[in-house]
Amino acid sequence: MIDYAIKKSAQLFITVFGVVTLVFFTLRLIPGDAASAMAGDTISGEALDLMREQMGLNEPLMSQYFGYLRDLVMLDLGQTITTRLPIAEMIGNAIPVTLSIALLTILLTVVISIPLGTVAAYMAHKGRTRLDNLLTGFAMLVDLMPSFWTALVFLLLFSLTLGWFPASGMVTLDDPAMFLSRIALPVLVLSVTQIATMARITRTSVLEILSEDYVRTARAMGWSEFRVLFRHALKNAALPIATVIGLSFGNLLNGTVIVEFIFTIPGIGNLLINGINSRDYQLVQTLIVFYALLFVSINFITDLVYRALDPRVSF
């Protein structure tokens, strides 16, 4: 346990530090900077220089880097370079929105795909493959549809044509009904892909476990098919499934950036896109570090869940 915790935190630290450094320098490799992005074509060279001076962009690169590291350690996220808004507050407002989308998507995915995959596996095990083939077909179809495309189609169909969901409106937790109806379509778009993947993985894992010897033992003890399937098979299949849920979180974060942009939802993803468009180094690098931390923590939690589920893995 101690061994494990030491090893794991060291890994976490190195990963996050690497991300911070990489992001800092690659951002500065992109042509143009915050000042020129803000100024556009209208400002003279001298005025631009003055803006750079004020934004701290004229300092040597390494001193900018170490200054940034120091601020991070002090948990001082600073202000956006362009609009001088406190970054901590901006992220704080955006987090609940993005996390709601992500967690609802996972919930919807788990509730639909695990029973679906389990039943498909059971039927396939008995040699009845119709549901199984349907599931595979659906998964292949979904794999061919990029999420920005699905998002646009859903927007067009459910919002603009059918009018089931509002295409605009305040997204705030103070108005839960509005909040839910605004994030419903993003959640649906993301869930479609996730469900296809998860159902297929559940199906494969459960199918494999159904031919294990201990499943036969459970049958030989006289347990009903239902209990054999959900107690023994699914409990063992939960191990690979938990791992995949954890890993798919990364994809999900990716997806939130796209859907937030298309559905104009003020989440972390939209913040990031605005930051990139305005070359706001401070905002972008802070957001990416935030994503990295989130991603690394999810992996860590997945690992812990796996260890909790499987008594054979010790710390």
Partner 1 sequence: MTYQSDLAPTLLEVRGLRTEFDTRAGTVTAVDGVSFTIEKGERVAIVGESGSGKSAMAMSLLRLLAHPGRVAGGQVLLDGRDLASLSERALNAIRGREVGTVFQDPMSSLDPVMKVSRQMVEPIMRNLGLSREAARAEAIRWLDKVGIPDPEGRIDAYPFEMSGGMRQRVMIAMALSCRPRLVIADEPTTALDVTIQAQIVEMLKDLTAEAGAAMMFITHDLGLVARFAHKVAVMYAGRIVEFGPVDAIFAAPQHPYTQSLLRTIPSVDATKDTRLPQIPGIPPDMRHKPEGCAFRARCAVATARCALEAPELTARAGDLAAACWVEGGLRAAPQALEPRRRVAAPLDDTRVTVEINNLVKHFEGRGFLARNRRAVRAVNGVSLRVRKGETLGIVGESGCGKSTVARLLLGLDQPTSGEIFIDGLAQMVFQDPFSSFNPKMTIARIIEEPLAVQNWGDRASRAARIEQLITQVGLEPAHLVRYPSQLSGGQRQRVAIARALALNPSVVVADEPTSALDVSVRAQIINLLADLKADLGISFVFISHDLLTVRYISDRIAVMYLGEVVEYGPAEDVFDRPMHPYTRALIDAVPIPDPRLEAARTNAPLRGDLPSPLDLPVGCAFASRCPMATAMCRTDKPRLKKYRQSQEAACHYAK
Contact 168, 262 (CB under 8 A): no
Task: Figure out which of the listed residues 125, 200, 203, 279 binds partner 1, where binding follows CB under 8 A.
Answer: 125
State which residue, 135 or 215, has the beta carbon closest to partner 1. Answer: 215
Minimum distance of partner 1 from residue 301's CB (angstroms): 19
State which residue, 17 or 223, has the beta carbon closest to partner 1. Answer: 223
Separation between Cα atoms, residue 84 and residue 17, nearest integer Å: 26
Minimum distance of partner 1 from residue 17's CB (angstroms): 21
Separation between Cα atoms, residue 91 and residue 109, nearest integer Å: 26
Coil, helix or strand at residue 86: strand
Minimum distance of partner 1 from residue 124's CB (angstroms): 9
Minimum distance of partner 1 from residue 313's CB (angstroms): 10
State which residue, 9 or 251, has the beta carbon closest to partner 1. Answer: 9
Using rule CB under 8 A, residue 310 touches partner 1: yes
Contacts of residue 284, defined as CB under 8 A and 6 or more positions apart, other chains included, come to 23, 27, 272, 275, 276
Using rule CB under 8 A, residue 62 touches partner 1: no
Minimum distance of partner 1 from residue 276's CB (angstroms): 42
Q: Note the helical H segments in 30-86.
A: 34-39, 45-55, 61-73
Nearest to 117 by CA among 240, 298, 299, 250: 240
Contacts of residue 40, defined as CB under 8 A and 6 or more positions apart, other chains included, come to none
Backbone φ/ψ region at 79: left (φ over 0), alpha (ψ -120 to 50), beta: beta
Task: Figure out which of the listed residues 211, 251, 254, 277 binds partner 1, where binding follows CB under 8 A.
Answer: 211
Cα 307 versus chain centre, distance: 22
Task: Figure out which of the listed residues 31, 60, 127, 163 binds partner 1, where binding follows CB under 8 A.
Answer: 127
Six-digit token string for 48: 């631009």
Minimum distance of partner 1 from residue 208's CB (angstroms): 13
State which residue, 123 or 276, has the beta carbon closest to partner 1. Answer: 123
Tell me which stretch binds partner 1 (CB under 8 A): 17-25, 44-52, 72-80, 208-216.
208-216
Contact 118, 233 (CB under 8 A): yes
State which residue, 70 or 216, has the beta carbon closest to partner 1. Answer: 216
Separation between Cα atoms, residue 4 and residue 313, nearest integer Å: 12
Six-digit token string for 13: 């630290």
Instruction: Count Cα atoms within 13 angstroms, Cβ side, for 274.
Output: 20
Minimum distance of partner 1 from residue 308's CB (angstroms): 11
Pick out residues in 214-253 that bind partner 1 (CB under 8 A).
214, 216-225, 232, 235-236, 239
Using rule CB under 8 A, residue 130 touches partner 1: no
With tokens 């494990």, the residue in question is 4
Write phi, then psi, for 28 (nearest 5 degrees): -80, -5
State which residue, 129 or 254, has the beta carbon closest to partner 1. Answer: 129
Using rule CB under 8 A, residue 6 touches partner 1: yes
Using rule CB under 8 A, residue 2 touches partner 1: yes
Minimum distance of partner 1 from residue 304's CB (angstroms): 16
User: How many residues in the shown chain lie near partner 1 by CB under 8 A?
Assistant: 29
Site string for partner 1, 152-191 (x = CB under 8 A): ----------------------------------------
Six-digit token string for 183: 């994030």
Interacting residue ranges for partner 1, rule: CB under 8 A: 2-3, 6-7, 125-127, 211-214, 216-225, 232, 235-236, 239, 309-312
